[in-house]
Structure 1
Amino acid sequence: MRSKLTKNAIFEADNSLEVSLREAFQLLEPQLRPLFPLKLPTQEEYFNLNKAILCGILCEPHLVRVHIKHLHAIVTDGYTYFISMLIKIVNELYAKLVDSVKTQLIWVTCEMVNVLGVGFDGLLVALLRQIVGGDFSGGNLWLCFEMVSLFRDQWDCLLEDEPLVLTSALYVFLRLLADHCRLPNDSKVETLKRLEIDFCIRMLREKFGLCLKIGRDLVRLLQDLVHVPEFRSIWKDLLLNPSVFQTDAFLDISQLYLSRTSSRYFLLRITPEMENQLRFLLTHVKLGNQKRYQVWFAKKFLGVPERETLLTDIVRFICCGHHPPNEIIQSDIIPRWAVIGWLLKSSQRNYVEANVKLALFYDWLFFDEKVDNIMNIEPGILLMINSIPSYVDITRTLLEFLLMLVEDYDIERKDVIVKGVSSAFTFLVRKGVVRSLDALTCSDVISPFLKQLFEKIFKDMLASLSERAVASLPLKPISAPS
C-alpha cells in the first residue's frame, strides 16, 4: 500500500497517528487477505489488527468490503476501539486527509451507525465539528452535504438509539443555513440548502420536544432564518401558536428563553484546532503579549471576509464554553473580556457586529441565578466597565445595544427580559464581579440619554442595589455626651 492518509508539506514530519496505522498495516498485511486466521488475538494484537483494518478501509477502497467483513468477524468490544481511532483521525487529521480518504471516512462512519458501534454518536459529533462556518470551499460544502444526507438517511436509527445527536445536527445545520442562505443562487448550493432546510424543519415539526433540549440558543439561531419562508412559519407558531408543536411541556416561547443551552452545543461550531488555540490564548498568554497570537489566529481562521460569521460562534464559546479557574482569573493572563473586545473590533459588517453583541449578551436577557452560570455573563460587564476610559466607544455601543435589546427583543414578554437583565446586574454586583454600576449610571463619558434610559428601565433594580449598599454600611458609633 503506497497511498498515504494525509497531505503534508515537505518540511512537515509524519504524524504519529498516521505512522502507527501504516506500521500496523504493513506488519499485518498478510493477515488482511482471505482466508483470515481463526486464532483469538491478544489485546495488543487485537488493537493492532483494528489499526491495520482501519488503514486498509481508508486507503484501499477497492478492498473495503473485504476489510469491513474482517472487522465484523474479529470485533469483541462493540467497535469501541475502532471508533475511538476514527474519532482521533477526525479530530487530529481531518484537514490534512486526502480526498479519497475523506470519502472512505464517511463510508465507514455510516457502517458504524448501521452496526450501532459503541460511541458512534461521538464520531458523528466529531465530523460535525469539522464543518467550518463561513467556509464555502468545495471540500467544506461536500462534508456538509454528506453529513446532512447521513442524518436524513439514518433518521429512524438515530431517533431510536441516540436521539440527542439529532439535536447536535439541528444546531449545526441551523447555524450553517444562516451562512448558506446568503450565498448567490447555485445549483449545488441550492440542493444542499434544500437538504438542510428539510432536515431542520422535520426536527422542529415532528420532534419539537427533543429540540427543546438545545435551550434558548435555539431561538437565537432561528432568528437568523426568519427570512426563509419555512422558518418564518416556525417562528410565527413559536410566538402565536405553540400548541401546534404538540408538546405538553411547551406552552410559551418564554419557557425556551429560560432554558440554558449546554456548552456542548457551542463546541459544535468550533473546530478542535480552533478550540485548542483559543484555550491556549486564554490560559497561557499574558495581557500585553497577545498581539502576535491574535494576528496568527485571525490569519489562520478568519482570513477571508466570509469567515466573519465565525466571530459569533467564538464569542458564544468564550462566554459559555471556557470558564477559567480562579488562579487564571487572578493572574496576568489575558482575560476573556479583552479577547472578546478584540473580536468585536474585528467585525467589518453591521449584521455580524450585531450578532456578536447578541452572542455576548444573550444569557443576560433571561438570567436566573438558579439556572445560569455567572461566568456566562461576566465578560459582558467587564468589557463595558474596563473599556472606560480608553475605549469608551465600546462601552457606549454595548450599553446602547443592551438597552435596545431590553426594549425591543420581545415586546410581548418585555417583563421577562427586564427581570433577566436586572437579575444579571444584581448578581454581578452581589458577587463582587464589579463593585457597583456607577460607571454606567454616573460617568460623564456616558451620554445623558443612555443614563436616563438605563435608570428608567432598571429603576427598581437600582433602588434595590442602593438599599443593599446602605444596609451594608457600618453603623457609626454614638458619641457620648460631653
Structure 2
Amino acid sequence: MVSRLTLVVSHEAENQIEVSLRHAFELLEPKLRPPFSLAIPKPDKYLELNRAILYGVFCEPHFAKTHMKHLHAIVCDGYAFFVKLLVEIIHHLYPKLVGSVKNQLIWVTKEMIDVFAVGFDGLLVSLLRQIIGGDISDGNLWLCFELVNIFLDKWHCILEEEPLVLSSALYTYLRLLADHCRPLNNEKLETLKQLEIDLCVKILREEFHLCLKIGRDIIRLLQDLVHVVEFRAIWKDLVLNPSQFKVSEFADISQIYCMKTSSRYFLLRVTPEMECHLRFLLTHVKLGHQKRHQLWFARKFLNGPNRETLIVDLVRFICCAHHPPNEIIQSDIVPRWAVIGWLLTSCRKSYVEANAKLALFYDWLFFNGSLDNIMNIEPAMLLMVHSIPKYIDMTHTLLEFLLLLVDNYDMEHKDIIIKGVSSAFQVLICKGVIHSYDVLASCPVLSPLLKEGIGRLLLPENYEGEPWINGNSLAACRGKAV
C-alpha cells in the first residue's frame, strides 16, 4: 500500500511504526465514526484504538477534531500511550513525514498541551531536537516558527505543568539565534528572529531560576549573542546587577560557572539521526577505517552554506554526552579525540573554529574534580598528545587557544579559571590519561612560549590550596586507568 504518512523511495521497506498505525486504522475504521461505543475497551483494544485514532488525525485532517473527541472520551492513562506514539513517530520518522502530516503533528501537540497530557514535555523536546542548527531551509524555519509560537502561546500551561521544558526551549533557541542573527537583510528570518528573541528574553527575565538549570553552558551561549541589544542588556545585569533576576541564591556569575550542564541539553542540538550515526562511528568503526564514514556524515549533515556551525554542537555532544565504556576505550575503535580532530579540521570559518575549540575546552575552565566528569575533558588532552609529532600544528593551536582562554576569558574571575584548568590537568594525571604534564612541557617540537605558558599555569602560586605538582602526588597517581 502507498504510504500516507511518509515520503519513501521504492527500494525502502515500510517502517513498522507506520504499518502498525495503518493496520489499526483499517481494522477499526468503522468504530472511528460517530456514534462512538460507550463500552470501556480492554487494554489491548485500547492501545489499538489509540493507534487508529492517531492515524486518523494524521490522514484525515477534516475529521481530526472528531478523532480527538473520541480520544478524550476513551482515554484512561492520561494520554500517556498516545504521547508515546507521537514521540516514536518524531524520533524515527520526522524527516520523512509529508507536509500535511507535519502540520497535523503540530496541531495535535497543541491539543496534548491543552489537556496536560502525561509526557507532553518529552513531546516538545523531541520536536526541538528535529530543528537543525545552521539550516535556513523553509522546512526547518517552519518548525522553528511553529515551536516558538507554541512556547509563547501555551506559556501558562507549560509553566504550570512542566516548567523545566522551558529551559530546553531556552537552550535550543539561544543556540539557533546565534545562527539566525548572523545573516544580514534576510527577510524570511526577521519575524522568526524577533519571536525567538522574545521567548528567550521572557524566560531569562521572568523565570531565571529555570535558566540556572542549564548550568554553565548558558553563559557560553549568551556570549555568542552580546551583539544583540536585548541580550547585551541581560549580560550587563548578569555581570553588574544580578539582583535584577530576583533569585535569592544567585549573586554572581561565578556561581553559574560552577554548575555543570546536563547531557540532555547537548542532545537537544543533535538530531536523533545524527546521534545514531555518531554513536555507531564511536562504538563500531575501527581506527583507520573511519574516513568513509566521516565523509558520508559530512555530506549528509554538514554539506550546506551554514551547516558548518553544527560542528560546535557535535564537539560538545561528543565531549559531554557520549562517554564510552572502558572496553571501547581500550579497544581499537575510533576514539572520540580522533573524531573531534576531524571536525576541527573541517572548520572553514574562523569564528566556527574558535567556537568549536571553546566547546572542546569549556569544562576545563571551571573543572571541579568532585563535580565534573573527567570524560568531558579527556578528548582535548588526548587530541593534543596524539597530535605529537605528526600533527604538531594541532597541538600548538589547541594549547595556544587554552592559554588565551585562561588569560582573557573572564578577567574578573581569572582565579577560578586558573584553578579549573590546573584541576583538569591534575585529574588527567591522577587517572592516568597522561603520566605527567611533561608530555607537553618537555616536548622538543613544542613552542618554547607554549611550554613556558604551561609551566606558569601550573605553578602553585597560581591557585589556592596545597600544590598538587609534587613528587609524592605524581608518584601516587601515575599508572591509574581512566
Bin of the TM-score, shorter chain as denominator length? over 0.9
Question: What's the counterpart of residue 324 of structure 1?
Answer: 324
Report the number of matched residues: 474
Question: What's the counterpart of residue 84 of structure 1?
Answer: 84
- Name the amino acid aligned to 1:396: H
* Counterpart secondary structure, 2:469: helix
Tell me if the contact between 1:215 and 1:259 (Cα under 8 Å) persists in the aligned partners: yes
Tell me if the contact between 1:131 and 1:140 (Cα under 8 Å) persists in the aligned partners: yes
Decide whether aligned partners of structure 1 residues 71 and 452 sit closer, same or farther in structure 2, where only a CA change above 3 A counts.
same
After the TM superposition, which segments of 4 or more aligned residues of structure 1 sit over 4 Å from their partners?
Answer: 469-474
CA distance in 2, matches of 1:41, 1:415: 65
Tell me if the contact between 1:337 and 1:380 (Cα under 8 Å) persists in the aligned partners: yes
- Name the amino acid aligned to 1:378: E
Structure 1 residues 108-257: aligned runs within 5 Å: 108-257=108-257
Question: What's the counterpart of residue 263 of structure 2?
Answer: 263
The Cα of 1:280 is off from its aligned counterpart by: 0.6
Question: What's the counterpart of residue 479 of structure 1?
Answer: none
CA distance in 2, matches of 1:153, 1:328: 46
Tell me if the contact between 1:361 and 1:402 (Cα under 8 Å) persists in the aligned partners: yes
The Cα of 1:186 is off from its aligned counterpart by: 3.1
Q: 1:466 aligns with which of 464, 470, 473?
A: 470
Q: Mark the runs of 5 or more structure 2 residues left unpaired by the alignment.
A: none
The Cα of 1:14 is off from its aligned counterpart by: 1.4
Decide whether aligned partners of structure 1 residues 131 and 246 sit closer, same or farther in structure 2, where only a CA change above 3 A counts.
same
Decide whether aligned partners of structure 1 residues 473 and 129 sit closer, same or farther in structure 2, where only a CA change above 3 A counts.
closer
The Cα of 1:327 is off from its aligned counterpart by: 0.6
The Cα of 1:94 is off from its aligned counterpart by: 0.3
The Cα of 1:2 is off from its aligned counterpart by: 7.5
Question: What's the counterpart of residue 102 of structure 1?
Answer: 102
The Cα of 1:316 is off from its aligned counterpart by: 0.5
Tell me if the contact between 2:215 and 2:261 (Cα under 8 Å) persists in the aligned partners: yes
Decide whether aligned partners of structure 1 residues 393 and 3 sit closer, same or farther in structure 2, where only a CA change above 3 A counts.
closer
1:389 aligns with 2:395: no
Deviations 1:243-298 (A, max 9, x none): 11111111100000010000000000000011111111111111011111111111
The Cα of 1:65 is off from its aligned counterpart by: 1.0
Tell me if the contact between 2:430 and 2:477 (Cα under 8 Å) persists in the aligned partners: no
Structure 1 residues 383-422: aligned runs within 5 Å: 383-422=383-422
* Counterpart secondary structure, 1:465: coil
Deviations 1:111-147 (A, max 9, x none): 0010011111110000000000011100000000000
Deviations 1:411-436 (A, max 9, x none): 01100000000000011101111101
- Name the amino acid aligned to 1:32: L
CA distance in 1, matches of 2:435, 2:461: 15
The Cα of 1:16 is off from its aligned counterpart by: 1.1
CA RMSD in angstroms comes to 1.6
Tell me if the contact between 2:25 and 2:55 (Cα under 8 Å) persists in the aligned partners: yes
Point out the more displaced range, 243-252 or 38-47. Answer: 38-47
The Cα of 1:177 is off from its aligned counterpart by: 0.3
Percent of residue pairs bearing the same amino acid type: 64
The Cα of 1:148 is off from its aligned counterpart by: 0.4
1:361 aligns with 2:365: no
- Name the amino acid aligned to 2:401: F
CA distance in 2, matches of 1:280, 1:294: 11
1:374 aligns with 2:379: no
Deviations 1:396-449 (A, max 9, x none): 000000000000000011000000000000111011111011121111111111
1:48 aligns with 2:52: no
* Counterpart secondary structure, 2:468: helix
Question: What's the counterpart of residue 13 of structure 1?
Answer: 13
CA distance in 2, matches of 1:461, 1:36: 78
Deviations 1:63-82 (A, max 9, x none): 11110000101111110110
**TM-score, structure 1 normalization:** 0.96
- Name the amino acid aligned to 1:223: Q
CA distance in 2, matches of 1:352, 1:458: 29
Point out the more displaced range, 85-94 or 443-452. Answer: 443-452
CA distance in 2, matches of 1:184, 1:60: 41
- Name the amino acid aligned to 1:465: I
Question: What's the counterpart of residue 342 of structure 2?
Answer: 342
- Name the amino acid aligned to 2:427: F
- Name the amino acid aligned to 1:449: L
Tell me if the contact between 2:431 and 2:477 (Cα under 8 Å) persists in the aligned partners: no
* Counterpart secondary structure, 1:305: coil
- Name the amino acid aligned to 1:452: E
